[in-house]
Amino acid sequence: MSEVLVKPLRPVRSRTYLWAAGGVVLLALPFYLDRFWLQAGLFAMAAAIGAIGINLLTGATGQLSMGHAFFLAVGAYGYCVFAADGGDGLTGLGLPTWLAAVLAVLVAGAAGGLFSPISGRLSGAYLGIATLALVFIGQHVMFNAHDLTGGANGRDVPPLSLFGLTFDDRELLVAAVPFGSAEKLWYAGLVLLAAGALFARGVLRGRPGRAMNAIRDHRIAAGVLGVPVARHRAAVFVLSSMYAGLAGVLLALVFQRTVPDYFGITLSLEYLAMIVIGGLGSVSGAVAGAVFVSLLPQLLTRYSDALPLVSAPGTGGIAPGEASRYLYGAAVVLVVLFLPGGLVGAAARRHVGPRSGEIHPGEER
């Protein structure tokens, strides 16, 4: 009897120790890594937050969205408008930066709420095309609304200030290590990512998550069983937009300047690639896919001199950004063909073995 009771606890304990060790490593990294790697990690954190949001919408609820870049832009530019003091012909309300960040996320959610009636009436490719229109509308506004966005040149991003600490490049000595904006934002990014992941995990494991999965698997049957389909789909669209807005705010703080070119259709496609590669309907899958897709171009750029066929733009080889798109495009094809549950699903199957009877997203019963 004691054997039966103790054995199932061992994987749980080992997983807990693994998470604790990973957390300690992440907390210690700013003391050892240079600015390049910290910024790459921050890009991955922002991408993971946005990927969690679109995974709730597309992976868990089955609503195809190709307009995720639009809501990231709303968050990024919304923060600039709320936090900046104005000047140089740009609109700025001069609000406290922490309040500006909160309002930017809420505005992104409101934009998703305005679009949710359309998302409630459409599904599949039709919804994807409708959300794609948001990206083109957003690009037009970002390039032409100079007072709000600064036009093609973009606008500077005010540094975040919270509890008397300003997340800028003014050095702050911590244990004899100079902390700049990247080091300070690292911990803010970790907190935001952990909070977003835990909240999404709670949603997926509770009644809303079961309702979302029912809507994804069979919308009509879910309605017959009493699930308020339209209300759930609208709520998930708003929640996904808020995650995107939060990711946009973090990206703006890391870049320190927002430019319209970044928030295009390519960014929306990258987010779809993240959730497919990592695993549809899984929070950890969204994080894994975001890390893979966001870090790949950074690594190729860093080591382009040592890699065959990859070189700086204009030197005759394949540019790092282009090469990264080839690679994660190939990864999407391989995952769809051979790993229907994504990277996380494959890792789970390897860990628990084929006799556990667990069904992962994308697999058939």
Phi then psi dihedrals of residue 90, to 5 deg: -105, 145
Percent of the chain with pLDDT over 70: 88
**Alpha carbons 71 and 243: distance in angstroms, whole number:** 9
% of the chain at pLDDT higher than 90: 37
Domain residue ranges of the chain, discontinuous segments joined by +: 26-263
Q: Is the dihedral of CA 253, 257, 259, 262 positive or negative?
A: negative
| Ordered alpha helix ranges (H), the chain | 2-6, 9-28, 35-54, 68-83, 97-121, 124-144, 146-149, 181-205, 207-217, 219-224, 229-255, 265-278, 283-302, 320-338, 342-352
- Rounded to 5°, the CA angle 157-245-69 comes to 95
Q: In the predicted model, is pLDDT for residue 241 greater than 60?
A: yes
Q: Are 73 and 248 in contact (CB under 8 A)?
A: yes
pLDDT over 90 (residue 127):
no
Q: What is the per-residue pLDDT for 312?
A: 64
**Structure-model confidence comparison of residues 116 and 307, the more confident one:** 116
What pLDDT was estimated at residue 44? Answer: 94
Neighbouring-strand partners of residue 178: 173
> Per mean pLDDT, which range of 37-46, 209-218, 275-284, 342-351 is the poorest?
342-351
pLDDT at 331: 82
Contact 283, 200 (CB under 8 A): yes
Structure confidence at residue 268 (pLDDT): 92
What average pLDDT does range 261-290 have in this prediction?
90
**Residue owning tokens 């120790």:** 17
Average pLDDT over residues 155-166: 88
Whether 228 has a pLDDT exceeding 80, the answer reads yes
Q: Letter for the amino acid at 74?
A: V
The Cα–Cα gap between 346 and 247 comes to: 27
pLDDT in tens, 57-93: 998 888 888 999 999 999 999 999 999 987 777 888 9
pLDDT score at 54: 94
- Top-ranked range on mean pLDDT: pick from 9-13, 195-199, 339-343: 195-199
pLDDT of residue 203: 92
Taking the CA atoms of residue 249, residue 253, residue 254 and residue 258 in that order, the dihedral angle to the nearest 10 degrees is 80
Does position 255 have pLDDT exceeding 60, yes or no? yes
Confidence at residue 21, expressed as pLDDT on a 0 to 100 scale: 86
CA 123, 125, 128, 130: dihedral to nearest 10 degrees?
A: -80
Higher-pLDDT residue of 29 and 318 is 29
Cα(40)–Cα(295) distance, integer angstroms: 6
Q: What is the mean pLDDT of the chain?
A: 84
In this structure, of 114-118, 278-282, 307-311, the range with the lowest mean pLDDT score is: 307-311
